Amino acid sequence: MVRAVPVTRWLSSEAFKLVVAEPRPNVHNLSHPLIASDGSGSFPSGHTTFAVSLAIAIYFLARRTKWSKVVFISGLVFAVAVAASRLYLGVHYPSDVLGSFLVAATAVSFFTGLWNRYAVQVLNGVPFLDRLGPIPANPAAHNTPGESGH
């Protein structure tokens, strides 16, 4: 599931770009443009949505460990740095990078909910996976609040 989180980001970002169809800022209005803009959709920032979803995926791996707070803070700093770089380069509006945080978090939440609900059923229906053995039920769904699942 963790590997699918960045893919979810890409699909959600591209869907929003098609629906919103906001043009990028005009780099010719900048006194010293640092990067050429391709003129494609601006909202949301694909780089920022990737940074946010990558941070979320790494946090999923680190949760319930002693590193969870460090990973959370590092991921947040990384995502904010990527967002700031997109603004500094002049290829996105502030609303593009702020919206990217919402798009990534919403898409990951939606995907995670679907995964937790339907993944075992879908994976059990894939014939060649039988050779690897039975797919266990989602262990996180059976943990009591005090259990770590490890």
Positions annotated as catalytic residues are 47, 92
Task: Answer for the pair 17, 85: CB distance below 8 angstroms, yes or no.
Answer: no
Q: How far apart are CA 3 and CA 101, in angstroms?
A: 19
Q: Which residues contact 109 (CB under 8 A, 6 or more apart)?
A: none
Is residue 49 within 8 A of residue 16, CB to CB? The reply is no
Locate 73 and state its tokens: 């803070």
Which DSSP string do the residues of 13-74 spell out, in sequence order?
HHHHHHHH-PPPP-GGGSSS--S-------SSPHHHHHHHHHHHHHHHHHTTSTTHHHHHHH
Can you say whether the dihedral through the CA atoms of 66, 69, 75, 78 is positive or negative?
Answer: negative
